[in-house]
Structure 1
Amino acid sequence: MCLGSVNVILTPEEVLFRGLVLVGFEPKRQKSVQHKKNLSRFRMHFSSDPSVYSVLLIKLQETKNEKANLSFDSEVDPRIHKIGVDGMLKYFFMSIYFLACYPTEEQAEGLFGCSDRTWRNWVWEIVEKIALLKPEIIVWPKKWNNPDNPEDPESATIFIITVDGTHCRIEEPTHEAFSENTKYYSHKFKSAAYDYEVALSIFEDRCVWVAGPYPAGTPDITIFRHKLKAKILESREASGVMHRAIGDKGYRGERGVLSIVSSADTDAVRKFKARVLSRQEVFNSRLKCFDVLEDCFRHTGLPGHKGPARNREVTGSEVKHQFCFDSCAVICQVSQSIVRLFYPPT
């Protein structure tokens, strides 16, 4: 076998069964209730449907990115000889549980019967692998033609994405002189947080952009100008169409490339903008179904990694949180590719 080979495939039913067994629902209890009840149990512990993780497991094996590849072949990963395929699958489900429920190491030790070191090492390894799928899963389209008529260049759309920032709470970063670091202050939580920039395609069920983390005190428009603005301008140059994004009132100041809700909008345009911005909020809320993003992030330090290069010091907490956020974004996008979450705005 070679890198990119798929040798372990679990059906959604097998994912459901294995996942529930791992968190304490033995086969007898699963058989004693309806399928709908077991699905509800699974979602409470893993924050998405079994079909999503069935696909994710395949994508982790298919990828040619060596750092992202989760191999179940002993010739590729010698550790399989020691822990076996079942052991590797257990660590995969443990990692998803970590993202979904964000337990402490002590809680995980009791639930999964492993040491804190084993939990810590395997969870962070697999979370990082899922995060490294982002370039393959969250992709900026080469063309922005209307999906109803994709081959007609005249049907290219002007409004292509919605963009919004979402804050995730963190423990208060240290400051040389003060007890609080104001650049991380989140007006949403009244405490320290990271900010991530998320963009969705308007006419497709697709997340096309995730950037961060940034200190929550950074204005949304400043983050937009950092990279996403240039991305839109590149698309304009490639298509010859004056593509624009849609954002909320936090994005004032870039009228040429970004449209916000305005009193000058017609009723139809106002309704259109409200609907697409609502879609954006729905996606952001789905990200927060993962407790690792919803709860206050308590992890620090991850030696051997470098964070996003933005000409400033990057902390270990940022690197770990970015792995978690990117992993959750990948899972949410895989979910969108399976079950339609939105319908094209009209």
Structure 2
Amino acid sequence: MHEDKMQQFTWMFIDALVELYEWKIKCPAVWPVMMGASVDGTQKPTNEPRDDNVRRNRKNFCYKYNIAGLNYQVALATWTNRVLYSRADPGSTHDITAMRKEFIGMIPAGCRVIADSGYTGKSDHEKEVFAVKNCLDDDEVAKFKAIVRARQECFNSRITSYKCFKQKFTHGIDKHPKCFKAVVVQLQYAIEDTSDAGEPLDTV
């Protein structure tokens, strides 16, 4: 098949997966009593956005790779194989800054989100919501947090197994978030599938 035709069909397939995103990736309006979540970000390099007036766009600068990129956030339910939320931000966006934009407002009082030190908040509300590693945690709590964070890292590693995340993305910075949504949808189907073909996350 001609390369141009192949690219056309590839983007048609990606667009079809993106259409499923709003249906598959949902944060519940009312959280169950025992529901918890974890969140983590991953940065991915892309090509520099073209701008005739600005040679370097520091907003999209990704410090991890020292190049233009995007910062992706993913939140998982703790007790079920569900992706609750994801978003894409410019590479310079700090993890907790990305969460302040939307996700933190979705978390009801009494529910906590296990995260790494990048989500250490300044306000009392943020400190209450994000459960980061704490030297005052007893052994059981510390172990539980470590397991949940490892589970989150497992999901993020599956994202990076896709070619569009393994290497620098050169098809335009505006298209990469679309690929991200398509990957998240595919992984949601994989982790919820309990058949031999499924790839559920290890439950805590």
Query: 2:24 matched to 1:137?
Result: yes
Answer 1 or 2: higher relative contact order, Cα 8 Å, separation at least 6: 2
CA–CA distance in structure 2, aligned partners of residues 209 and 281 of structure 1: 15
Sequence identity, in percent? 30
Letter in 1 for 2:72: Y
- Say whether the 8 Å CA contact 2:155–2:201 is kept in structure 1: no
Q: Unaligned stretches of 5+ in structure 2?
A: none
Q: Answer whether contact 1:205 1:340 (CA < 8 A) is retained.
A: no
CA distance in 2, matches of 1:243, 1:176: 47
Q: Compute the displacement of 1:140 (Å).
A: 1.7
Residue number in structure 2 paired with 1:195: 71
Which amino acid in structure 2 is aligned with residue 226 of structure 1? K
Alignment partner, residue 264 of structure 1 = 136
Q: Is 1:299 aligned with 2:171?
A: yes
Matched residues, number? 196
- Alpha-carbon distance between aligned partners in 2 of 1:281 and 1:124, rounded to the nearest angstrom: 28
Larger radius of gyration: 1
Q: 1:218 aligns with which of 84, 89, 93?
A: 93
Amino acid at match of 2:48: E
Task: Name the residue aligned to 2:106.
Answer: 231
Given that residues 293 and 324 in structure 1 are in contact (C-alpha distance below 8 angstroms), is that contact kept between their aligned partners in structure 2? no
Amino acid at match of 1:137: K
Between the aligned partners of 2:181 and 2:54, the Cα distance in structure 1 is 31
Measure the CA separation in 2 of the matches of 1:255 and 1:171: 36
Alpha-carbon deviations, 1:6-44, whole Å to 9, x = none?
A: xxxxxxxxxxxxxxxxxxxxxxxxxxxxxxxxxxxxxxx
Gaps of 5+ in 1: 1-113, 146-155, 301-316
Measured in 1, the distance between the counterparts of 2:54 and 2:137 equals 45
> More strand per residue: 1 or 2?
2
Distance 1:268 1:210, change over 3 A: same
Alignment of 1:120-199 (within 5 A): 120-145=7-32, 156-157=33-34, 160-174=36-50, 179-199=55-75
1:252 alignment partner in structure 2: 120
Which is richer in helix? Answer: 1
1:1-346, aligned counterparts within 5 Å? Answer: 114-145=1-32, 156-157=33-34, 160-174=36-50, 179-212=55-88, 214-232=89-107, 236=108, 242-253=110-121, 254-300=126-172, 317-318=173-174, 320-338=175-193, 339-345=198-204
Distance of aligned partners of 1:141 and 1:116 in 2 relative to their CA distance in 1, 3 Å threshold = same
Query: Deviation of residue 177 (structure 1)?
Result: 6.3
